[in-house]
Amino acid sequence: MHSVVNFLGRISHPNLVKLLGYCMEDNELLLVYEFMAKGNLENHLFRRGAIYEPLPWSLRLKILIGAARGLAFLHSFERQIIYRDFKASNILLDSHFNPKLSDFGLVKHGPDDGECHVTTRVMGTYGYAAPEYVSTGHLYVKSDVYGFGVMLLEMLCGLRALDPSRPSEQLNLVNWAKPFLSDHRRLTQLMDGRLNGQYHARGAFRAAQLTLKCLAGEPKRRPSMKEVVEALEQIEAMKSKSKSRLMSFFNNNVFRKGTTLNHRRCRI
């Protein structure tokens, strides 16, 4: 707890939750964070019911970009900071669904003196933890990238990283879903059914390709979080350009020429 106070007292970023204060009584430390009205991402992504409506594609991209920016910020220090427990339940959402990373109890300084990793006791959440960390205790900065890739996959398909209620071959989402990510047609079978097909198909495939890169077995083959942010921003821009082209078409061919508007459902 003291390490969390020291950590959040020294850094600030729009995509990291703010520590407002703390108090200590006897041996108990109470931390006071800013209020995040929408709770955590895990509830919105996986829970069913009237309280939690399915997240639309555009909102999923917004949350992914913000979370990626938070990780990229931690990795930008001269001695990089490894978050070590990236998962949907640690991403909090404000009233406008702006995401902020929370729970910094497992943060760790990255390697120095030319080393590529730090060796530490394995901690975090199984299903999100990178394979090299689980098997050897070697923690890389790009171990965080693997965790981000797992959550990116969850956002695409709306399924948990690990779920004992699924058939045995689908228990581990990464192992089961990887073959779907490199094929346009199979990807449509994987996409979250609650999106009802309302997503940019080419953007979704680009996101699937990015997911595969983040989930690469060797840390050096994964992109940096800065590169992940750039890739996601490009995917988001694809959607904006599609909307812009559609509106331009309507303006030029419908409203200006006074033609009759034929109501058809269009995927943007």
Active site residue 85: yes
CB proximity list for 68: less than 8 A, separation 6 or greater:
148, 225, 228, 229, 232
Of the candidates 86, 87, 85, the residue with the CA atom closest to the CA atom of residue 42: 87
Per-residue b/e over 149-162, b at no fewer than 16 CB within 10 Å?
bbbbbbbbbbbbbe
Q: Which of 26, 85, 103, 163 is catalytic?
A: 85
DSSP per-residue letters across 80-134: -EE-----GGGEEE-TT--EEE---TT-EE---TT-S-EE----S-TTTS-HHHH
Q: Are 148 and 228 in contact (CB under 8 A)?
A: yes
DSSP 23: E
Question: What is the rounded (10 degree) CA torsion for 90, 158, 239, 94?
Answer: -30
Residue 125 structure tokens: 């959440």
Catalytic residues: 85
